Chains A and B, each alone.
Chain A
Amino acid sequence: MREEPTTPALEGADLSIGYGEKIIASGLSIRIYPGDVASLLGPNGVGKSTLIKTLTGELEAVEGIVYVFGKDVESYSRKELSRLLAIVTTDSVLAGGLTVEELVGLGRQPHTGFFGRMGDDDRKATEEAMRRVGIIHKREAYVAELSDGERQKAMIAKALAQETAIIVLDEPFSYLDVAARIEILSLLKEIAAGGKAILFSSHDVSQALRMASKAILFTPSGELISGTPARLIAERRLPLLFPRRNVVFSEEAKDFIAAETGSELSSVKACNVNECPVQPHTPDR
């Protein structure tokens, strides 16, 4: 598919993640390369958000090291890191009284001086980010006036304006309908094609498998399994995400469905973890 660059943009090596004494999962390794649109999939409570926060340097790894372009994330200053890695979350924000342009312009903060004065470069980067995301027609609008999808686009534009090589999105689709999800995923693919490394966590298995270039499964047993969606499906890894009798993975629908509906779709191979033999997995890089 694509040539493999030698250094991952973002790498977690043998991580134990958790808060202080409480370890949620250990032995986790993950690599995101420039050009990747990687989706982190897993059931609730498995530690997706904790892993994301550990990879972005928001949370210290209990054990193991996070590398950003081959260097320990701890060795970067906050300022340096803010120019390499941008996050997008769905945290509620009090930014309703900013215009879209002001919000996207906040992405320039790591690049501007003490008073945040925007130079020509900063204005150009802000405008370019709004244009790429397709929100430029709303530049004068207040953030409060945006739909959920538009607001998420504006936050992604803010991340683009930050001009980082890595963008990490924590559950970016939480409040979005399917159309908005697809639109944003296409946008992320386009952005990655320009050489950025993108990692997002999601509950939307089917869209992630269709559109991401790489899927990382975080199983309830605390393992990370990564590969291209096609390979993970062929190797029947997906059922490991929800090891339950009444939830099966349909390869045709590329989604989890209730076990009893599986038989209604004649040609569908739908199975759960107990029924389908797992194929041998070739570890991903």
Chain B
Amino acid sequence: MRFAFLTLLSLLLLALSLVYGAVEIPPESVWQTIVAPGEADAVWRLIVLESRLPMALASFVSGAALAVAGLLLQTTFQNPLAGPSILGVSSGASMGVAVVMLFGAGAIVSGAAQYLSIIGGAIAGAAAVMLLLIFFSSILKSSAMLLIAGIMIGYLTSSVISLLNYFAPSDDVKSFVVWGLGSFAGVGVRELPVFLGILVPFTAASILFAKPLNALLLGERYASNMGYSVPALRTWLLGVSGVLTAIVTAFCGPIGFIGLVVPHIARMLFRTSNHFTLIPATMLTGGLVTLLCNLLTVFPGKSGVLPVNAITPLIGVPVIIYILVNRRKLKYFN
């Protein structure tokens, strides 16, 4: 029921994403470009099918991926306030991208080689932060302490990024800064197959972990008593969430708040912590919320497009504040 409702809402938002944009195209013409692309206006066809559609798909899939990454981190670290951006995973990926964009890109020719090296940089950066987090989580038993360590890692990577910016050629800095604002426009028709080819299977694979994730809700001692090797399980879960975060970050920039907030919205909507329901619910909700954020970026109309990272906090912060204030009332928190 709730799944059907969310799917319907996602389709509606998808339709709206095709209709609204910087260029005004009447809805009936949008419809025509979809059902009969041959007869439609060539420019409009280009805008609708090769710009708006990939962007909407990219935002939906990015949202699903980031939200699932956040859910995996929250359960793995037994910490409801964990998320790829707050634990520094996104900034780790950014740091990897910064190294490639500011110092590597000049040497590498543009095209496929360039964006593959950006993906590689993002994955390496995210992996480095994940390793640090695994290390800290073995010494810091308190989840609040781990969060603080994650925030510190985030600051550290930001400082490395600033240093890289300082010494980099100014043209590269500008493109890096624009990338850092977050946008789903970077995923065009050309990039879409690689983007979806990696994200869709990895996001879907998270459902394979539903059973052990449920065991992890009881903590590490119970999980290992139920037959799991907790260190191995944790490495898998962090690996999957690291890849999801790195890929989205490489293409769209470090997108904040989605990974932190969406699992909570999903838990509230579906009133459960059971991962067999929660994982698909988080995917769908993540896609929906991010599609909405993406739609809001075209709000100024002709005058331009807002950065995604200007929108996500507007949705994310009120939800987090609501959760913090009401944490005694929210069942899944205790």
Interface residues of A (CB under 8 A from B): 56, 58, 78-79, 81-82, 85-87, 89, 91-98, 102-103, 106-107, 109-110, 112, 114-116, 142-145, 162
Of A87, A102, A103, A145, the residue contacting B225 (CB under 8 A) is A87
Besides A89-B222, A94-B332, A97-B332, 11 new A-B residue pairs in contact (Cβ under 8 A), listed by A number: A58-B221, A89-B219, A91-B218, A95-B273, A98-B273, A98-B274, A102-B214, A109-B211, A109-B226, A109-B227, A142-B332
B274-301 contacts to A, CB under 8 A, are 274, 276
Question: Given A78-B227, A109-B215, do A96 and B221 touch, yes or no (CB 8 Å)?
Answer: no
**Judging by beta carbons under 8 Å apart, are A78 and B229 in contact?**
yes
Cα A110 to Cα B276 in complex, Å, equals: 17
Of A94, A103, A109, the residue contacting B75 (CB under 8 A) is A94
Give chain A nearest CB distance to B268 CB in angstroms: 10
Cα A116 to Cα B333 in complex, Å, equals: 24
Number of interface residues of B (CB under 8 A): 29
**Judging by beta carbons under 8 Å apart, are A91 and B222 in contact?**
yes
**Judging by beta carbons under 8 Å apart, are A115 and B210 in contact?**
yes
Give chain B nearest CB distance to A95 CB in angstroms: 4
Chain A's closest residue to B267 (CB) is A97
B331 near A: Cβ within 8 Å?
Answer: yes
- Among A95, A115, A162: residue with most chain B CB under 10 A: A95
**Judging by beta carbons under 8 Å apart, are A82 and B332 in contact?**
no
Closest A-B pairs by Cβ, 10 of them = A97-B332, A97-B273, A82-B227, A116-B211, A96-B334, A144-B331, A144-B334, A79-B227, A91-B219, A142-B331
Give chain A nearest CB distance to B146 CB in angstroms: 14
B31 near A: Cβ within 8 Å?
Answer: no
**Judging by beta carbons under 8 Å apart, are B218 and A144 in contact?**
no
Contact with A along B310-334 (1 / 0, CB 8 A): 0000000000000000000001111
Hey, which chain A residues are within 8 Å of B267, CB to CB? 97
Give chain B nearest CB distance to A114 CB in angstroms: 7
**Judging by beta carbons under 8 Å apart, are A82 and B221 in contact?**
no
Chain A's closest residue to B221 (CB) is A89
Chain B's closest residue to A142 (CB) is B331
**Judging by beta carbons under 8 Å apart, are A86 and B273 in contact?**
no
Cα A116 to Cα B78 in complex, Å, equals: 21
Of A85, A110, A144, the residue contacting B332 (CB under 8 A) is A144
Contact with A along B193-228 (1 / 0, CB 8 A): 000000000000000101100110111011011111
